[in-house]
């Protein structure tokens, strides 16, 4: 009765990995319990998730290696796996929100989020490619675009392109404070970009984990450029950032409990070292306490089931 914060299924966005094929699910070894799904299985899983009260799904593609290129042009192909998944979802569960990442890494041979020139990911040409990717996803039916690339100025450019092409109602959830984190390792396995990235990293465009004021500046820029919602990522190691962002701006604020956070909890629980249900629910509630309006979590479906009792 006196609890200050509550967690409901309505707070959850469920990230799902998709690939080509039919009736085809593949385990992700570094994320025990998570599977990559073909679109028919995705439709079934999404129906179940929506029935549990989860309002939104976030799609991440594992792209066939033969379709990856230097410039990631498959991202703008209207028949790519992500567009197929969006259409399948909109047929199967029309009222469920569909959120898509905007970044080139699942589509590039080098696993970077943008285009490379002279050994660097270049900002402005990358933004043009991101706009093409955005419009492709939105025309397939995506409701929320979530630029996760961390280029400067991309929110304003994407907002402008959406308005110009008649997609004024599309929302932008900006990955505003996205850190160059070791916690993304299992995700890169899941979308098959680990091998492409090799020993490379994303520190020229993702944030330094040492910084906190910089996160506030990044969020301010994204809001001024037209972001409807902002995100902090990873989640648990950055709860201080969530709290600062919410206090400073009061805008809809989300955290991404990323793949490595999933792996830590799932791995420890599988070994009998932690009580899975207790820890999952405590971790998710911590985001609410830190001021977040919602959480992207691989535990979403499981947590919604716990909430049903
Ligand atoms: C792509 C992207 C990443 C994640 C979401 N979008 C990986 C990265 O930046 O390398 C990570 C999500 C997770 O670890 O669960 N830009």
Task: Write out the DSSP string of 141-204.
Answer: T-SEEEE-S--TTHHHHHHHHHHHTT-TT-EEEEEEEEB--GGGHHHHHHTT-HHHHTT---TT
**9-308 falls under which CATH superfamily?**
Aldolase class I (3.20.20.70)
- Flag whether pLDDT at 99 surpasses 90: yes
Say whether 111 sits in a helix, a strand or coil. coil
Q: Do 286 and 293 meet the contact criterion of CB atoms below 8 Å apart?
A: no
Say what the pLDDT of residue 193 is. 87
Q: How far is the CA of 4 from the centre of ligand 1 (A)?
A: 31
Q: What is the pLDDT of residue 195?
A: 86
Q: What is the mean pLDDT of the chain?
A: 97
Least confident of 51-65, 192-206, 253-267: 192-206
The alpha carbon of 187 and the centre of ligand 1 are apart by a number of angstroms equal to 6
Q: Is the pLDDT of residue 130 over 90?
A: yes
Q: Across residues 224-231, what is the average pLDDT? A: 98
Band (235; pLDDT cuts 50, 70, 90) = very high
Ligand 1 pocket test: pick from 148, 151, 197 the residue with the most ligand atoms within 8 Å of its Cβ. 148
Packing angle of the helix pair 123-140, 81-92 (nearest 10 deg): 30
DSSP 44: H
Mutate to test the pocket of ligand 1, among 103, 196, 255 (most ligand atoms within 8 A of CB): 103
Which residue has 């385990």 as its token pair?
27
The reported pLDDT for the residue numbered 269 is 98
Number of C-beta neighbours around residue 268 at 10 A: 14
Q: What is the ipTM of this complex?
A: 0.97
In the prediction, which pLDDT does 192 show?
A: 87
């Amino acid at each position: 009765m006196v609890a200050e914060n509550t967690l409901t299924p309505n707070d959850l966005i469920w990230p799902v990995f998709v690939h080509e094929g039919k009736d085809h699910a593949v385990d992700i070894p570094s994320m025990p319990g998570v599977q990559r799904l073909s679109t028919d299985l995705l439709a079934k899983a999404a129906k179940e998730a929506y029935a549990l009260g989860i309002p939104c799904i976030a799609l991440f593609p594992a792209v066939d290696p033969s379709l990856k290129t230097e410039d990631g042009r498959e991202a703008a192909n209207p028949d790519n796996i992500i567009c197929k998944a969006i259409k399948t979802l909109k047929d199967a569960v029309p009222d469920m929100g569909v959120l898509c990442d905007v970044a080139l890494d699942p589509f590039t041979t080098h696993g970077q989020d943008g285009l490379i020139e002279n050994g660097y990911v270049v900002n402005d040409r990358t933004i043009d490619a991101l706009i093409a990717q955005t419009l492709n996803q939105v025309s397939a039916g995506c409701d929320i675009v979530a630029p996760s690339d961390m280029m400067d100025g991309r929110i304003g450019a994407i907002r402008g392109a959406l308005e110009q092409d008649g997609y004024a109602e599309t929302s932008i959830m900006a990955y505003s404070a996205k850190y160059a984190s070791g916690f993304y390792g299992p995700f890169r396995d899941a979308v098959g970009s680990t091998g492409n990235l090799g020993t490379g990293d994303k520190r020229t465009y993702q944030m330094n984990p040492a910084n906190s004021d910089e996160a506030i500046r990044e969020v301010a820029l994204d809001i001024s450029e037209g972001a409807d919602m902002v995100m902090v990522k990873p989640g648990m190691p950055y709860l201080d950032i969530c709290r600062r962002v919410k206090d400073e701006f009061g805008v809809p604020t989300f955290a991404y409990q990323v793949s490595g956070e999933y792996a830590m909890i799932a791995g420890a629980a599988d070994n009998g070292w932690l009580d899975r249900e207790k820890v999952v629910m405590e971790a998710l509630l911590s985001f609410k306490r830190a001021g977040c309006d919602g959480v992207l979590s691989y535990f979403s479906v499981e947590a919604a089931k716990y909430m049903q009792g």
